[in-house]
Structure 1
Amino acid sequence: MAHSALIGAARRWARIPIAARIAVVYVVGRLITTGFLQLAAHLSGPGTRFGTDANIGSFVLGWDAQWYWLVAWGGYPSALPLTESGQVAENAWAFMPVYAYAAKVIGIPFGSWGAGALLISLVAGFFACLMLYRLLHQRIGSSAAMWAVTFFAWGPLAALFQVGYAEVLFVLLLLIALDLVARRRFAWVYPVVLVMAFTRPGILAFALYLGLYGILRWVRRRTDPLPARDVVHIVALGALATVTGFAWQVAAGLVTGDSGAYLATELSWRRNWGVGSEGFMPFDGWVQAAQFWFTQWGLPGWWGLIALILLVVGAGGALLFAPPVRRLGVDLRLWSASYLLYLLAVFFPQSSTFRLLMPLTPLWGAVAVPRSRVYRYGMLLLCLLGQWLWIYHVYALGNTFWQVP
């Protein structure tokens, strides 16, 4: 009887339109996240960033959300602030304008920037789930695609659907762009690229992806025709992504009169970790961090370099050879490789590393490929555990740059 009832429930669930099923999964996920955030607020103590009177509203406006709020109401500084030692201090130029100003406009009816920010994150998260399913279902099947959406909506970074960060909006735009490229609707990608470029850093990774995608299409042109119009679009989109990828640096330089304003601003955050004073060098952040973290743990710094090499080789091997990842298609693997290479080139890994992995959302499809129920429900429990641990550490306990989300 119980088995028959489960089969009947599964059949009724399968008859529900996919958008409605995704909505149910997403809403339940948001209720779970709300419960976790409420518990974190209850556990927040006097030594934390949010204090004993913390609530979900203070989390929505916490950490980097304060910078987006500052951009929305104060704009960007025309003179870079300096530390006592004369170095560029942390400032608003590290945060791009689309999310900040969109939240300001949407929040006007509510009289609150935070309400606008929360609505953008919530709505963008739901549509990102729809786009993730659309991107994956023909590649890995409807069931696996639905599980990928569930892992995404309930995963370790699910709190970002409910706080004032630009990540979810960027991921929505990214999934739209990847889907348009996959369907070869190139004319629609141009406006998406323009908005992505000023939402959060990462458009240069998309430029690299387009370059690799163009090479792939050229290599396969005998079996997969490459019309001249596709060549024009791919080159033009790659050029647009590249130009807009550097446009924010140019804007910061023009407004402040300092051509290195943006990079100096980004490096100001690294100085919290005792590095970044020598200027920016591609790939140097990971080398510095590999030695820094192992030294912090009382281990030789060169162990960190070995660990970094193993990490890079392991990630590359997984993207090239792991069967579940190969199921996603070459284009999504190229995006994943492009973004990982971008992070390797520009990022200093620290507590924000997990958040910066969110643009790798299509890889949830590879996680969802194995069909075992035990595996899938076990992975879902791990997602929820990871979500709670992330929320607990950055909101219930967060008090220094060691715990920035």
Structure 2
Amino acid sequence: MTTEAPASSPVRGWERLPVAARIALIYVAARLVTTAFFLLASALSGPGSRYGVAPSLTELALGWDAQWYWLAAVSGYPADLPITTTGHIAENAWAFMPVYAYLSAGLGTVLGSWAAGAVTISLAAGYGASLLLYSLLRERIGASAAMWAVVFFASGPLAALFQVGYAESLFLFLLFAALRCVQKRRWGWLYLLVPAMGFTRPGILAFALFLGLYGIHRFLLRRSEGLPTREVVHIVALGALAVVVGFAWQVIAGLVTGDPGAYLATELAWRRNWVADGSGAFVPVEGWVQAAGFWFAQWGLGAVAGYIALAVLIGAVAAALLALPQVRSLGVEVRLWSASYLIYLLLVFFPQSSIFRLLLPISPLWGALAVPRSRVWRLGVLAFALIGQWWWIYNMYALGNTFWQIP
């Protein structure tokens, strides 16, 4: 025989709170933990750190890529590309999209500084993303598991990005809103969300691929689920819009600088910190192949082992997305988006320490780890997330002093 909890019990009180309030409490608690980690990292930061001894929270929030967004906001984008001593295009602001940079500047005029605007946007967008993540998952895995997925998301290894001057938080908010629109088949909002995402950070071409795969999925199931002509038009039009937006920044950079390859050359400038420039041109998938050989050689395992490991990794990820019941339970939209984004990374990225940050857009997969109902399991996942968060903050901020430790 089961006994109901008293009406005044903490569990009953928690469940009576509106979902938005529950998520707000989770999010605020997670941000306090992250702040404590930052303060500890500041105390451990020494003369060899990028930040020096005992940097302030503001200095930490403005580190690394935040400086580039700030530079874009205050100085704009260079018409004359900087050139290295070897004749290559050097790192510059064209690698950083304008929406977050300028929104932060606009809010910063009210709050007193670009940093205040940037952190406020990151904090607010992170909370909004948490609400949308819950909405994305609740109908698929249930309210309890969806709430635990929010806990993992808000407390995860990369949760520090919710309170620093990076565009990831805003991008996640826009992305989750877009995925929710696809779930609910509310196509009109996507005509605004797609350009907003595309000019916030790279990745909109992955969304174009997602819409293509989603369209194929709907076509294959048209007899059982239906596929009105109106939806076909929206899916095709939005996919085309995402492609156009995905290449628009490259075109803009080319027009402003007079160099059609300005954007891709700028992105490749960061890769040269690890490997030789090779052909000097962008080649899809080349980054992962180069990285497999480079990293495994650094670890003394040999380049061939790296290539084998890369193939095994690709196969394992594909199998997980296709076959794991916990992943399948998240719904076709989350699975197709995750596959599309991972394919995008495989095509364009050179894996290094930033790979952890770049995996944030597949955060809906936290839902798969929340599906098992065991409290021990869920608390274990949370402990792993928090340990990972401290490890990341310690390495990227307390010790961050070389290109081997880039957020």
TM-score bracket, shorter-length normalisation: over 0.9
Structure 1 residue 105 displacement after superposition: 0.2
Would the aligned equivalents of 1:103 and 1:116 in 2 still touch at CA under 8 Å? yes
Alignment of 1:89-238 (within 5 A): 89-238=90-239
Deviations 1:293-315 (A, max 9, x none): 00001111000000000100000
Pick aligned residue for 1:321 from 320, 323, 337: 323
Would the aligned equivalents of 2:153 and 2:159 in 1 still touch at CA under 8 Å? yes
Deviations 1:255-302 (A, max 9, x none): 101110000000000000023342210001000000000000111100
Q: Which residue of 2 aligns with 1:371?
A: 373
Deviations 1:146-199 (A, max 9, x none): 000000001101100010000010011000000001100001111000100000
Letter in 1 for 2:338: S
Rounded Cα–Cα distance in structure 1 between residues aligned with 2:327 and 2:351: 24
Q: Which residue of 1 aligns with 2:31?
A: 30
User: Quick check: 1:354 aligned with 2:362?
Assistant: no
186 and 135 in structure 1: CA distance in 2 versus 1, 3 angstrom threshold = same
Rounded Cα–Cα distance in structure 1 between residues aligned with 2:8 and 2:392: 35
Alpha carbon RMSD of aligned pairs, Å?
A: 1.2
Q: Which residue of 2 aligns with 1:305?
A: 307
Would the aligned equivalents of 2:194 and 2:204 in 1 still touch at CA under 8 Å? yes
User: Quick check: 1:43 aligned with 2:34?
Assistant: no
Structure 1 residue 15 displacement after superposition: 1.2
Would the aligned equivalents of 1:159 and 1:387 in 2 still touch at CA under 8 Å? yes
Would the aligned equivalents of 1:271 and 1:277 in 2 still touch at CA under 8 Å? no
Deviations 1:68-111 (A, max 9, x none): 00000000000110001111000000000000000000010222
Alignment of 1:76-95 (within 5 A): 76-95=77-96
Q: Which residue of 2 aligns with 1:254?
A: 255
Pick aligned residue for 2:332 from 327, 330, 333: 330
Q: Percent identity?
A: 64
Structure 1 residue 4 displacement after superposition: 6.1
Q: SS at 2:395's partner residue?
A: helix
TM-score, scaled relative to structure 1: 0.98
- Which runs of no fewer than 5 residues in structure 2 stay unpaired? none
User: Quick check: 1:8 aligned with 2:5?
Assistant: no
Rounded Cα–Cα distance in structure 2 between residues aligned with 1:6 and 1:46: 56
Q: Which residue of 2 aligns with 1:393?
A: 395
Rounded Cα–Cα distance in structure 2 between residues aligned with 1:400 and 1:273: 11
Structure 1 residue 5 displacement after superposition: 7.9
Would the aligned equivalents of 1:267 and 1:277 in 2 still touch at CA under 8 Å? no
- Which runs of no fewer than 5 residues in structure 1 stay unpaired? none
Structure 1 residue 330 displacement after superposition: 1.4
Structure 1 residue 6 displacement after superposition: 12
Would the aligned equivalents of 2:5 and 2:12 in 1 still touch at CA under 8 Å? no
Rounded Cα–Cα distance in structure 1 between residues aligned with 2:341 and 2:147: 24
Rounded Cα–Cα distance in structure 2 between residues aligned with 1:300 and 1:6: 63
Q: SS at 1:78's partner residue?
A: coil
Structure 1 residue 400 displacement after superposition: 1.0
Structure 1 residue 53 displacement after superposition: 3.5
Q: SS at 1:402's partner residue?
A: coil
User: Quick check: 1:273 aligned with 2:274?
Assistant: yes
User: Quick check: 1:19 aligned with 2:17?
Assistant: no
Query: Which has the larger displacement, 150-159 or 9-18?
Result: 9-18
Structure 1 residue 368 displacement after superposition: 0.6
Rounded Cα–Cα distance in structure 1 between residues aligned with 2:20 and 2:143: 12
Q: SS at 1:273's partner residue?
A: coil
Deviations 1:217-236 (A, max 9, x none): 11100011111110000000
Structure 1 residue 7 displacement after superposition: 9.5
Aligned residues: 403
Rounded Cα–Cα distance in structure 2 between residues aligned with 1:34 and 1:47: 22
Structure 1 residue 10 displacement after superposition: 1.4
Letter in 1 for 2:377: Y
80 and 6 in structure 1: CA distance in 2 versus 1, 3 angstrom threshold = farther
Q: SS at 1:62's partner residue?
A: coil
Rounded Cα–Cα distance in structure 1 between residues aligned with 2:373 and 2:301: 40
Deviations 1:298-356 (A, max 9, x none): 11100000000010000000000001000011121000000000000000000000000
Letter in 2 for 1:345: L
Rounded Cα–Cα distance in structure 2 between residues aligned with 1:354 and 1:87: 27
